[in-house]
Amino acid sequence: MSSPNGLFLTLEGTEGAGKSTNVFRVCQTLDHARIPYIRTREPGGTEMAEEIRECMLRSRQESVAGLTELLLVFAARTQHLETVIKPALAEGKWVVCDRFTDATFAYQGFGRNLNLAQITTLEGWVQGDLQPDLTLFLDVDPVLSMERIRGRQLDRMEQEEMDFFIRVRNGYLRRAKQFPRFKIVDASRSIEAVQQDVQSIVELRVTHWLKAQKSASQDTE
Ligand SMILES: Nc1ncnc2c1ncn2[C@@H]1O[C@H](COP(=O)(O)OP(=O)(O)O)[C@@H](O)[C@H]1O
Ligand SMILES: [Mg+2]
């Protein structure tokens, strides 16, 4: 490929863990290093995918089958990948994404007890071998993180019972042990301490990425 590839960075965690807060810090760090990037989120990130998000998360009278939810997430993801994420990476930009497929395994897999092998099949179908390069998991006891968002208007997912979020957190922790791309950040600490860790992790990755870019461009000279 002629253009160097960007880097795909995702942030994960239960509601109130601090994803939005730390996406902001990631972007500040990239601004400072003059790294080109886009900031996006899942489900969503395109006009159509945001409509699917709204459809999925709206509270409604009818009960929503877990499989419906799963297929909606992957439909939105396909649109997001094809029209936003892949083109940005191909242009050499970093993609900073608030949630991605780890959330699908954690919420629909571990949270809703849907079949993990089926999720893996859909993942392969939609993503091929594309995976995030770096995943920051903001780990916090859901009892604490739900307390942080008390007073916020809760969507359909956020209205689940505490046991659901405990399963989700444990699902994330299982995946974090399984895949070396994960960095676990203890998000029960102060905002400043968490942001400092996030910044250090991103700065280190920026340094490695710039080095790799430089040696790749020397190879083609
Ligand atoms: N480490 C932290 N300690 C205390 N409060 C936090 C911390 N991180 C985030 N918050 C606060 O908790 C709330 C939820 O944070 P937010 O970043 O929106 O979480 P998320 O995007 O993961 O749902 C916000 O009011 C934010 O200011
Ligand atoms: Mg958020």
> Which residue type, as a one-letter code, is found at position 161?
E
CA torsion 64→70→76→78, rounded to 10°? -160
Helix (H, G, I), strand (E, B) or coil at 146: helix
154 lines ligand 1 (CB under 6 A): no
- Banded pLDDT at 1 (limits 50, 70, 90): very low
Instruction: Please give the distance, rounded to the nearest whole angstrom, from the Cα atom of residue 201 to the centre of ligand 1.
Output: 19
Q: What's the CATH architecture for 8-219?
A: 3-Layer(aba) Sandwich (3.40)
Global pTM reads: 0.96
Helix axes 19-32, 191-219, angle to 10 degrees: 40
Could you tell me what percent of the chain has a pLDDT over 70? 98
Q: Which two tokens stand for residue 62?
A: 């009818």
Give the pLDDT confidence of 187-219 residue by residue, as tens digits: 999 999 999 999 999 999 999 999 999 888 888
Ligand 1, residue 193: give the atom nearest the CA. 1
Give the pLDDT confidence of 71-81 residue by residue, as tens digits: 999 999 999 99
132 lines ligand 1 (CB under 6 A): no
Give the pLDDT confidence of 40-94 residue by residue, as tens digits: 999 999 999 999 999 999 999 999 999 999 999 999 999 999 999 999 999 999 9
Instruction: Please give the distance, rounded to the nearest whole angstrom, from the Cα atom of residue 11 to the centre of ligand 2.
Output: 10
148 lines ligand 1 (CB under 6 A): yes
pLDDT of 220 over the 80 cut: no
Give the pLDDT confidence of 114-166 residue by residue, as tens digits: 999 999 999 999 999 999 999 999 999 999 999 999 888 889 988 999 999 99
193 lines ligand 1 (CB under 6 A): no
Task: Give me the pLDDT at residue 4, please.
Answer: 60
State how far Cα 218 lies from the chain centre. Answer: 33
